[in-house]
Amino acid sequence: METVRLTVGQAIVRFMARQYVERDGREQRFIAGVWGIFGHGNVAGFGQALEELGDAEEMPYFRPQNEQAQVHLAVAFARHSNRLRTYACTSSVGPGAMNMITGAAGATVNRIPVLLLPSDYFANRTPDPVLQQIEHPTERDASANDAFRPVSRFFDRISRPEQLIASLPAAFRVLTDPADTGAVTISLPEDVQSEAFDWPERFFDRRVWRVRRPLPEAADVADAVSLISASTAPVIVVGGGAIYSEATEELSTFATRFGIPVVETQAGKGALPWNHPMNAGPAGTNGGVAANRLARDADLVICVGTRMGDFVTASRTTFQNPDVTFIGINVGPMDAHKLRAVPVVADAREAICAIERQLAAAGYAGTAAPYRQRVADLKKEWDDIVTDLRTVNGAPGDLGQAEVIGIVNDVVGGHATVICAAGSLPGDLLRLWRPEDPKAYHVEYGFSCMGYEIVAGLGVRLADPDREVVVMVGDGSYLMMNSEIVTAVAEDLKLTIVVLDNHGFQCILALQRLVGVPDFGNELRFRDPSSNRLTGPYVPIDFRGHAASMGALAIQANTPDELREALAAARAADRITIIAVPTEPEKRVPGFESWWDVPVAGTSEQASVRGARTAYDEKRREQRIDIQ
C-alpha cells in the first residue's frame, strides 16, 4: 500500500481539497476555502497545515473577526450556492470553539451544510488543564465541544490520526446529503492535529459526491394525484427546498398549468417572482391577506421543501378548513411527514414533475375558473396593499420602515439579493420586498439569528460576485455583530448595508405590548435615576461614524431623497457602504389576519396582561391540534 506521511492537519487540508460534488452533470469543489481564527489550539496543527499546503491545494484561507460570524458567513455562502458549496471553519479550543455553537445551530436549523473544525483539549491529557479547558469534576472525557452534539448533524472527535480515514468520508456524506445536511463538526484535540501518520495514498484520491435527486415512490405519487384531483381549493406552500433543488421553473409550470396558487415562506420567497400570476404572497404570521385567506379555506395544502415552522402555520391557525389535508413533498422524511401529510419523500423537482405527469395522464385540467378568479382578485388586493405600504407618506424626515423597504427595493431592483435575519424587518420584507428571481431574497428565519445579516452579505457576495447585495439590518442586530465590516474592507468585498435606526428592539417591544406588558427593556435608553429603569432618553448612536471608523464608506440618510442618493453612491462606490437611516418606530406594518403563539402570563395584577391572556386563550381555540 502506497502511503504518504502528513500530520492530521495536513491530511484534512489535502482531503478537503479533493472532494467534489456533482448534480445534473455539473461538478465543482465542495469546500471553497477555510475561515479561521488561530489560537494555541490550532496554530501549530491545522494552521501550520493550511500555511504549508493551502496554496498548493488551492485551499484559500480567510480571517474573520469572530468565530460565530465565520459560520454564518459559510452558511450564507452555501445557501446562495444551493448547498453545492460551503466553507470549512477552524477555531482554537474553548471560547473560539464555543463561539461557533450559535452558527452551528443556525446551519442545522436551516439545513445548510458547513464543516466545523473546532480544536479540543489534549487527547494525551498530559498538560491538563490546558488554558481554556473546562475541567468536569467527574466526567473526564467531557469537553466543552460536546456542546456541538445537539446542534450538529454529525459529530466526531479525532483522538487518534487513523480515525480520520473513516470519519472524514462520513462527514462529507452528511454534508452533501440534501436530507441530512447541516452543521458537521469534527473536534480536533490540539496534540492530535500535529501528529504525523502514514496515510494510504488512496485516501486522497479525487472523490465526487453525487448530490442525489431521490425519485418519489409511485404509490405516493398516486396518492398525491388523487388528493389533488379531488381538491377544489388547493394551495402550494413553497419553502427553501424548492430553491435549493432548482425546482422553481417546474413549480411555476405546475402552478400555472393547474391553476394552484403558491403561498410563500421566508426561505421559499423568490421561488416565483412576486408578480407571477400564481404567487399569492406570504402566508402565516407575517403573511398577507391573499395567501392567508386562501390558506385558511384550502382543502388541500401541497408543501414543497418546507419545514412548516410556526410562522407559516401561524402556530397552527393558518389552515382552518376542518377537512384540510396535506401533501408533504420533501427530501427529508422528518419534514415530509409533518401535519399528518401524505409524505412524498423525494427531490422537489423530481416530485413536482412526476406528479404533474400523472395528473396530466389522468386528464386533470386543474382548478375551476371561479377559484382561479378568486386567486387573481385576492392577489390584486394584496399587491395594492403592498404598493400602498411601500409608498412614502408623511414628512420627509419621518420615514417608516415600510417606506425604506420600498425605496431600497425600487433603487436596487428585483435581482439584487436582499439579506436579513431578525427583528421587524424579516416580517416586513416578507410582505413588502418584490424579488424577481430565486436568489433575490435571502432572509434567515429558521434560527432568526441577530448578527447573521452583515456577515451573510459577505458570504453571498463571495458566492456570487456579480450580484448586487443589499443587507437590511436593524440597529439592535447591527450592534450585536458588525465587526466583519473590517473583513469586507480587508477582502475588498463590495456590498451595501442599510441600518434602520429605530432605537432598539422594536419588534420585541411590539410583541411585549401585545402580551399586555408595559414597555420594558427593549429600547436603547439611558437609565433614569428616578425610576432606576431604562426609561431615560434614547442613547444616541453615530452609526455613520462607527462604520466609517472601520474603513467603510458611511452615509447618513434622513429623507427619501437622501436615501436614494446614498444608494446611488453605494452603487458607484468601490467598497462596502453603510447607510444609516433613522426610522420612526411607531410607524409599524400591521398584521394581516394572523397570529403567533406567545404565551401570556396566566396571572397578573395588571389589567392589560389579564386582557391579553383572555384574548390569548380565545385564539388558542383555533389551533389545529388535529393536524400534528
Q: How far is the CB of 509 from Mg ion (least distance, A)?
A: 9
Question: To the nearest whole angstrom, how small is the minimum distance from the Cβ of residue 613 to ligand TPP?
Answer: 22
Give the per-residue contact string, 460-499, with Mg ion (x = CB under 5 A; - = no): --------------xxx-----------------------
Instruction: Tell me how far apart the alpha carbons of residues 314 and 489 are, in angstroms, rounded to a whole number.
Output: 41
- Quote the cell numbers at residue 313: 402555520
Q: Whose CB is nearest to ligand TPP?
A: 474
Q: Which residue's CB is nearer to ligand TPP, number 76 or number 300? A: 76
Tell me how far, at minimum, the Cβ of 505 lies from ligand TPP, in Å: 3
Least gap, CB of 406 to ligand TPP (angstroms)? 16
Residue indicated by cell numbers 396593499:
385
Binding-site size for ligand TPP (CB under 6 A) equals: 18
Other CB atoms within 10 Å distance of the CB of residue 521: 14
Nearer to ligand TPP, 47 or 474 (CB): 474
**Min separation Cβ 623 and ligand TPP, Å:** 23
Q: Which of 35, 39, 28 is nearest to 59 (CA)?
A: 35
Distance CA 462, CA 261 (A): 34
**C-alpha 467: how far from chain center:** 19
Look at strands 19-23 and 3-7 and give their pairing.
Answer: unpaired
Rounded to an integer, what distance in angstroms lies between the CA atom of residue 183 and that of residue 117? Answer: 11
User: Would you say 342 or 557 has its CB closer to ligand TPP?
Assistant: 557
Binding site partner of 10, from Mg ion, ligand TPP, none, Cβ cut-off 5-8 A by kind = none
Residue 81 or residue 522: which is nearer to ligand TPP going by CB?
A: 522
Q: Counting contacts by CB under 6 A, is residue 248 touching ligand TPP?
A: no
- All residues at 6 or more sequence positions from 575 whose CB lies less than 8 Å from its CB, including other chains: 488, 489, 492, 494, 551, 552, 553
Q: How far is the CB of 414 from ligand TPP (least distance, A)?
A: 23
- Write the CB contacts of 598 (distance below 8 Å, at least 6 apart in sequence): 511, 514, 515
Do residues 171 and 162 lie in contact, with contact meaning Cβ atoms separated by under 8 Å?
Answer: no
Binding partner selected for residue 156 from Mg ion, ligand TPP, none, CB under the kind-specific 5 to 8 Å limit: none
Please give the size of the binding site for Mg ion, defined by CB under 5 A.
5
- Enumerate residues 501-540 that contact ligand TPP by CB under 6 A: 502, 504-508
Q: Do 428 and 269 meet the contact criterion of CB atoms below 8 Å apart?
A: no
**Does 547 contact ligand TPP by CB under 6 A?**
no
- By C-alpha distance, which of 44, 55, 42 is closest to 14? 55
Cβ distance to ligand TPP smaller for residue 222 or 534: 534
Task: Report angle CA 320, 326, 327 to the nearest 5 degrees.
Answer: 160
Closest CB to Mg ion among 506 and 577? 506
Which among 447, 547, 442 is positioned nearest to 499, based on CA atoms?
Answer: 547
Q: Is 314 helix (H, G, I), strand (E, B) or coil?
A: coil
- Judged by beta carbon, residue 9 or residue 284, the one nearer ligand TPP is 284
What are the backbone angles phi and psi of residue 59, rounded to the nearest 5°? -120, 85
Q: Which stretch binds ligand TPP (CB under 6 A): 142-150, 228-236, 307-315, 498-506?
A: 498-506
Least distance CB 586 / ligand TPP (angstroms): 12
Amino acid letter, residue 464: D
Count CA atoms within 13 Å of residue 264 on its CB side. 36
What whole-number distance in Å separates Cα of residue 602 and Cα of residue 620?
A: 14
- Give the one entry of Mg ion, ligand TPP, none that residue 508 binds, where binding means its C-beta sits below a cut-off of 5 to 8 angstroms depending on kind: ligand TPP
Site map 419..458 versus Mg ion, x via CB under 5 A = ----------------------------------------
Strand partners, 91: 118
CA distance 105 to 72: 10
Interaction partner, residue 450 (ligand TPP, Mg ion, none; CB < 5-8 Å by kind): ligand TPP
Judged by beta carbon distances under 5 to 8 A according to partner kind, the member of ligand TPP, Mg ion, none in contact with residue 594 is none
How far apart are CB 316 and ligand TPP at their closest, in Å? 21
Q: CB 501 → Mg ion: shortest distance, Å?
A: 7
**Within 403-462, which residues bind ligand TPP (CB under 6 A)?**
422-425, 448-451
Instruction: Choose the one of Mg ion, ligand TPP, none that binds residue 448, judging by a C-beta under 5 to 8 angstroms depending on kind.
Output: ligand TPP
In this complex, which beta carbon is closest to Mg ion, that of residue 201 or of residue 586? 586
| CA–CA separation, 142 and 528 (whole Å) | 45
Q: Indicate which single residue of 67, 264, 356, 475 sits in contact with ligand TPP (rule: CB under 6 A).
A: 475
Q: Is 476 one of the binding residues for ligand TPP (CB under 6 A)?
A: yes
Distance of CA 329 to the CA centre of its chain: 20
Q: Which parts of 504-533 interact with Mg ion (CB under 5 A)?
A: 506
Q: Answer yes or no: are the C-beta atoms of 113 and 181 closer than 8 Å.
A: yes
Query: Closest Cα partner for 262 from 306, 309, 197?
Result: 306
Which positions ≥6 away from 218 have C-beta within 8 Å? Answer: none
For ligand TPP, which is the closer residue by CB, 46 or 452?
452
Least distance (Å) between residue 402 CB and ligand TPP: 12
Of 404, 422, 406, nearest to 414 by C-alpha is: 406
Nearer to Mg ion, 4 or 510 (CB): 510
| 365 to 404: interface string for ligand TPP, x by CB under 6 A | ----------------------------------------
Between residues 264 and 444, which has the closer beta carbon with respect to ligand TPP? 444
In the complex, least distance from residue 154 CB atom to Mg ion, rounded to whole angstroms: 36
Alpha carbon of 489 to those of 253, 458, 481, 553: distances in Å?
43, 10, 16, 10
Residue where the block lists cell 406594518:
589
Output the residue with the shortest Cβ distance to Mg ion.
474
Per-residue cell: 242: 424548492
Which lies closer to Mg ion via its Cβ, residue 193 or residue 506? 506
**189 or 446: whose CB is closer to ligand TPP?**
446
Scanning 466-542, the segments in alpha helix (DSSP H) are: 475-480, 484-491, 506-514
Nearest approach, Cβ of residue 540 and Mg ion (Å) = 14
Q: Please tell me whether residue 88 adopts helix, strand or coil conformation.
A: strand
Q: Which is nearer to ligand TPP, 106 or 328 (CB)?
A: 106
Residue 325 φ then ψ, to 5°: -125, 165
Q: Which residues bind Mg ion (CB under 5 A)?
A: 474-476, 502, 506
Where on the chain is the footprint of ligand TPP (CB under 6 A)?
422-425, 448-451, 474-477, 502, 504-508
